[in-house]
Structure 1
């Protein structure tokens, strides 16, 4: 009896250092997750143009979102201490883009707003750089954190729909009413959540029940937002990610086969329903004009500009031209930071895409290909790759997944 008691006491004593060693790592991981959540909050649009439930003035809501970036910077400095960063071509290109935006903003017509946006982009990139030590974790910490944050956002949209359906369906499109989020952004979050869930399930990294519940929530939310760009981008991203796993994962092969069959049957039997959803109440002329986007794009290309403005742009704007949204990453980038900014953005996308293409088959490659494909497809009618935005966050996630470790280094 005394021997058994002695063994139990010894076992308890031996466990204490292990627990003490694990606790700081858990706290660091949670702080990193909180930093990422604050970055997502920073890029969430406070959509004051539609009714919402919380009595938050528009100015206060925008201030909360901007303060989240300051909080993320301060918090990441507490977890990354002493400061260590990984060398990265992707981060270097982001810093180059931020520097070019700062240069263009100095000569902007609205100096204060442009300088603020350029400074914000610089701080945003700095936080992303300070997170590089967590890029190479085998547990995909940043990807899982991003997905958890998206689930919280979609949950708030669903709760808002359940509590106040009339308010949530603004102009027959679902938007956030707990925290006011425009329909296009709700659709974006739903599409990315559904796509990441599908790819993680393909790879066996997510249980079937969790994956099914996530998709069954995300897809109806996406359809209720009537966001065509997000739907097409998600389908393209999942297809490319699935094809990258085609020879290695039975789940991917089965899902793609069922998906193709379902798409064919749906196109034949539900063609009119799909056409009505895609038309979104617009006539053929409005669809052809891309809901007025073409007129704005032609005006941007026809606008007079000096040589400096051609190469470096007019400075970071709110992505509008003559009061109308630009709704194109490439024309928005050209207007803000000129041909140089467009070139840097193209190199950013190509660098991540090339790195993913030549990476060995596996979850990191599939997830990166989904995110890059989604960003590329969405970039034609959405803006964000050249500013602090959800798209830049997701492109950074893709870059983290294809980061090449030094042979002497190991992922935690």
Structure 2
């Protein structure tokens, strides 16, 4: 690979060739498909093994497409992708000593391949046309549209997961659906505040995402999206009158809704659980305690036991930090904290505008959601969210040529 040189003394190009753009979009779509495991009820006439092969095979397809989009193999030095590469190196080294050698090493190598594709896309970081964000939003719209269509075609199957909306045309769990809906709704609101997209575009995407988010009945995505949107829109208050008006009207409406529908909102948040069950995060804290109390050697505490399916004694861990401690130890968790801290601090130093606001939203969302969701220690939608954030706050540079 060749290290791309930064542009000196002149603005970077902002418009890519159409041929290069479709390759970038196709690469991102393949990366997105790779993190949508084919498990659960679905309407496609595909055996589960075929669907899984399609999802897993999307990664080598993404690698080929990335090479087509970046034929000279240019890479742009980027501290965020470097830190992800350190996680990959740690994952491979530790997984070689895992009792489940084949599956653990495969997961580590898949993570490495995923980050390799991000390296090949790194020259597209910093583009003023928000190329990666546009690709990301297109993928979100496609998946959420399929979720909504599935709910119309077969509502019984779509809401079979304890009454929570899931994807059934391509199987997507309610928590993953909620994650995507929150990201699409939040970015649409921010881009509208910055006048990057029209009101019609914003309404169309929010009308798609918001009902889906509510129907998934996922508290983490709703709260993380709200916190991220408040933080991101606050960065626009001084520069954008539309953001200031939105804050005023949002404050008035949210207060009115809370006062009028307080009991209904509390019932929705409790999801039929008792207060003690809700405080225990639906049993998650029990699993976390089991992981943390399990005896481990000093080496395992520091470097982990290798890549796993992020479960313990048959129960999902559902926490990025506990899962990382199990797989990659304290060192892995420290790398992730450093990654998030650098991303957030870098975003805060950028000029006010859509790139900074959307980046802050994505980073804050991922930080908040990481408490009850996994994602930073392997290929996931969270990694894609943070890659988009990194691309938005990167300094402008020349795109790859040739």
TM-score, reference length from structure 1: 0.91
Q: Distance in 2 between matches of 1:255 and 1:264?
A: 14
Unaligned runs of 5+ in 2: 1-14
Tell me what 1:43 maps to. Answer: 35
Give the drift of 1:47: 2.8
Q: Distance in 2 between matches of 1:178 and 1:304?
A: 42
Tell me what 1:174 maps to. Answer: 165
- Alignment partner of 1:332 is 2:332: no
CA deviations 1:154-198 (Å, max 9, x no partner) are: 100111111111111112010011001001111111110001111
Tell me what 2:136 maps to. Answer: 146
- Alignment partner of 1:373 is 2:368: no
Unaligned runs of 5+ in 1: 1-22
Tell me what 2:312 maps to. Answer: 321
Tell me what 1:115 maps to. Answer: 105
TM-score, reference length from structure 2: 0.94
Match of 2:117 among 119, 122, 127: 127
The 3-state SS of whatever aligns with 1:174 is coil
Q: Distance in 2 between matches of 1:411 and 1:367?
A: 24
Within a 5 Å distance, the mapping from 1:153-192 to structure 2 comes to 153-170=143-160, 171-192=162-183
CA contact (8 A) 2:27 2:66 kept: yes
Q: Distance in 2 between matches of 1:26 and 1:62?
A: 31
The 3-state SS of whatever aligns with 1:173 is coil
CA contact (8 A) 1:176 1:186 kept: yes
CA contact (8 A) 2:70 2:400 kept: no
Tell me what 2:286 maps to. Answer: 295
Give the drift of 1:283: 1.8
The 3-state SS of whatever aligns with 2:306 is coil
CA deviations 1:28-62 (Å, max 9, x no partner) are: 100100100110100113232xx321122222211
CA contact (8 A) 1:137 1:411 kept: no
Tell me what 1:7 maps to. Answer: none
Match of 1:281 among 268, 272, 290: 272
Q: Which has the larger displacement, 39-48 or 384-393?
A: 39-48
CA deviations 1:90-121 (Å, max 9, x no partner) are: 11111111000111101112111110110000
CA deviations 1:213-242 (Å, max 9, x no partner) are: 111111110000001100001101111110
Tell me what 1:14 maps to. Answer: none
Q: Distance in 2 between matches of 1:233 and 1:114?
A: 31
Give the drift of 1:267: 1.1
CA contact (8 A) 2:123 2:399 kept: no
Greater helix proportion: 1
